[in-house]
Every structure is written in structure tokens, then in C-alpha cells.
A = this chain, B = another copy of it.
């Protein structure tokens, strides 16, 4: 009896709409009005599903983080060697996507700068980063164990390499958005592998 719930779908739609608008106007520039219009919903409904605008952003962070994770999992099914897996991890994050993917990248960059000043955002952003760091650490350790004569990296070496790769990936995101003119086409993933591994 009664009207069936559609919260999960609606929430997802709203998160999508936020990211679409945010990709063009930034987080502050994404007004509830415009998010609503983008989603084809009444403004008031946004706040029926999310208590605050920030809550939409927080859900976007986890959603994006999960998207990247999923992208890697999908790709890595076909990978056999440690090297392939590592390569695919990097590719999953850096391959310039079309449409939605491109938008996801922009959204991620924006979220990064929101993390600077919104404590809550920083928390979930950091959580996502830590998760990423762990996966990458493992992959990297596997890779070196199976490909390098000296085998296992020291804790410190590993941490340094991971930070290096993550920095590079984050920066590549950023510059691909803000300064595409100075970036070569389709280069990031392969280049990183070549230089680093």
C-alpha cells in the first residue's frame, strides 16, 4: 500500500545532475535551482532527498571513487601478470574518456579543490585516496617482486613510488582539464609506465 519508494534512483539522478553542472560551473556555481533543472526535477525535491547541498557532493565523491574502482575491476579481469594489472590500474584512471568519463574527471578535480576547505569533503576524499593508495601499493609490490631482481621494495621506497604515481595521476587529471593545450594527446598511461617502472 502507498506509493513505492524511489529514493535510490532519485538520489543517483541528483548526484549525476550535480556533477554535470559542477563540471561546467564548479561546486559553488552549481545552484540547487540549476541542479534541479538539469535533473528535470522541482527544486524543493532536491532537499527532500538530500539534507544539504554538501551531502550531494559527499555522495558524489563515493560514487566517483566507486566508479574508478569498478573501472579497474572490469579491466583487470583479463589481466594475468602483475605488470598487466598495474598497467590496467593506471589506464583505468588516466585513459581520457568520452562523455560521462570526461565529466567524471572534471568533477573529481573540482572535488579536490573543495576538499581543501570543506572538512567533510576532505574526509571522504581522503578515504577514497587511501583506498586507492592501498590497491596501488599492493599492485606495485607484486610488480616489483616478480619483475625486478632485487625483489621486494622497502616500505619507504614503496611509499615514495606510490605517492609519486598518485601525484602524477592527479596532476594529469588537473592539467587535462585546465591546460589541455599544453598536454600531448593520449599519452599519460603509457608514459607513466615507461618512466617509472
Where the two chains meet, the residues of A that have a C-beta atom closer than 8 Å to any C-beta of B are: 2, 24-26, 28-29, 42, 106, 109-110, 112-117, 122, 125-126, 129-130, 133, 156, 159-160, 163-164, 166-175, 177-179, 181-184, 187-188, 191-192, 195-196
**Least Cβ–Cβ distance between A68 and chain B, in angstroms:** 15
Known: A28-B28, A116-B177. A184 touches B159 (CB 8 A): yes
Q: How far is the CA of A182 from the CA of B133 in the complex (A)?
A: 8
**Least Cβ–Cβ distance between A28 and chain B, in angstroms:** 4
6 residue pairs A–B, Cβ–Cβ below 8 Å:
A29-B117, A113-B113, A126-B181, A160-B187, A164-B192, A166-B182
User: 12 other contacts beyond A113-B113, A125-B179, with CB at 8 A cut-off?
Assistant: A28-B29, A29-B117, A106-B116, A113-B178, A115-B178, A156-B184, A163-B175, A163-B187, A164-B191, A167-B183, A167-B188, A170-B175
Of the candidates B26, B126, B133, B192, the one whose C-beta lies within 8 Å of that of A113 is B26
User: Does A116 contact B122, Cβ atoms closer than 8 Å?
Assistant: no
Give chain B residues whose Cβ lies under 8 Å from the Cβ of A167.
Answer: 168, 171-172, 174-175, 183, 188
Closest to A129 in B: B179
**Least Cβ–Cβ distance between A91 and chain B, in angstroms:** 16
Closest to A23 in B: B116
User: Does A182 contact B130, Cβ atoms closer than 8 Å?
Assistant: yes
Give chain B residues whose Cβ lies under 8 Å from the Cβ of A109.
Answer: 112-113, 116
User: Does A179 contact B116, Cβ atoms closer than 8 Å?
Assistant: no
**Least Cβ–Cβ distance between A117 and chain B, in angstroms:** 5
Closest to A2 in B: B42
Q: How far is the CA of A184 from the CA of B155 in the complex (A)?
A: 11
**Least Cβ–Cβ distance between A135 and chain B, in angstroms:** 13
Give chain B residues whose Cβ lies under 8 Å from the Cβ of A172.
Answer: 167, 171
Give chain B residues whose Cβ lies under 8 Å from the Cβ of A181.
Answer: 126, 130
Name the residue in A178, A187, A196 with the highest tally of chain B Cβ atoms < 10 Å from its Cβ: A178
